[in-house]
Amino acid sequence: MTEWGVARAASVLAAAEAQRIDRGPITAEWPELDLETAYQVQDEILCRKVESGEHIVGVKLGLTSRAKQQRMGIDSPLTAWLTDRMVLPAGAPLVVGQLIHPRVEPEIVFVLGERLAGPGVTAARAMEAVSHVYGGLEIIDSRFTDFKFTLPDVVADNASSALFVVGGVARKPEDLDLALEACLLAVDGEVVDSATGAAVQGHPGEALALAANALAKRRQALEPGWVVLTGGLTDAVFVEPGSRVSADFSTLGSVTLRCE
């Protein structure tokens, strides 16, 4: 069998996504997989998607809550890529059977008006680069069985990326207090969780700054027009056909996802 390396790991994860089949962690078979190499796997998968016709539209952050970071033994979020094929238009249903075991979480979403490059980016500088702020929902879908993985596994798997929906209410960042922006997450009309923007690194702008500085270490930057999903405000909820998930924000409107 071919030895483990970046190319093989990328092929294994790409096949799992395409075939909608989960598997055990790669680190169980390739314990030498470290964080730096995992990001190389992530970038290799992205390159293959771009070669097949997809376009980069932004980035997402994962593990932005302090509790999740402590569980994974890290002190900052991870970053991952968004492409145009991950965009689920508002009002379009989520076809659950097209994914493995999807979960949904509410997000504060930034659209950048200018390029943002690290190192040394502060939250204040990061927010200056934001053109508009939206509410959104991210649909995550790990390629690993039962969402069980190590940090290198989930980084290689592009932070369990699948799809995302952006709401229809656009606000200027200077008009908002994002640390206090509240969100109620409901499933089939019943509120199951709530949070404020402070759940994301204390302020979503801190997460954006961390993304810019992390990408700088890989000689990359956030580009104008890109979408940035700043991280789940609450824990993600499982969905199944017939479910209806909604995120009601205090000033960013409501975002609803119908599952079939």
3-state SS track over the chain:
CCCCCHHHHHHHHHHHHHHCCCECCHHHCCCCCCHHHHHHHHHHHHHHHHHCCCCEEEEEEECCCHHHHHHHCCCCCEEEEEEHHHECCCCCCECHHHCCCCEEEEEEEEEECCCECCCCCCHHHHHHCEEEEEEEEEEECCCEHHHCCCHHHHHHCHHHCCEEEECCCCECHHHCCCCCCEEEEEECCEEEEEEEHHHCCCCHHHHHHHHHHHHHCCCCCECCCCEEEEEECCCCEECCCCCEEEEEECCCCEEEEEEC
Domain that holds residue 127: 6-259
Residue 39 lies in a domain: yes
| CATH of residue 165 | 3.90.850.10
Is position 11 within any domain? yes
**Which pLDDT score is estimated for 63?**
81
Per-residue pLDDT of the chain (260 residues; tens, 9 = 90+): 679 999 999 999 999 999 999 999 999 999 999 999 999 999 999 999 999 999 999 999 988 776 666 666 666 689 999 999 999 999 999 999 999 999 999 999 999 999 999 999 999 999 999 999 999 999 999 999 999 999 999 999 999 999 999 999 999 999 999 999 999 999 999 999 999 999 999 999 999 999 999 999 999 999 999 999 999 999 999 999 999 999 999 999 999 999 99
Instruction: Tell me what pLDDT residue 64 has.
Output: 79
Stated pTM of the model? 0.95
Residue 164 in any domain: the answer is yes
Total domain count for the chain?
1
**Residue 1 located in a structural domain:** no
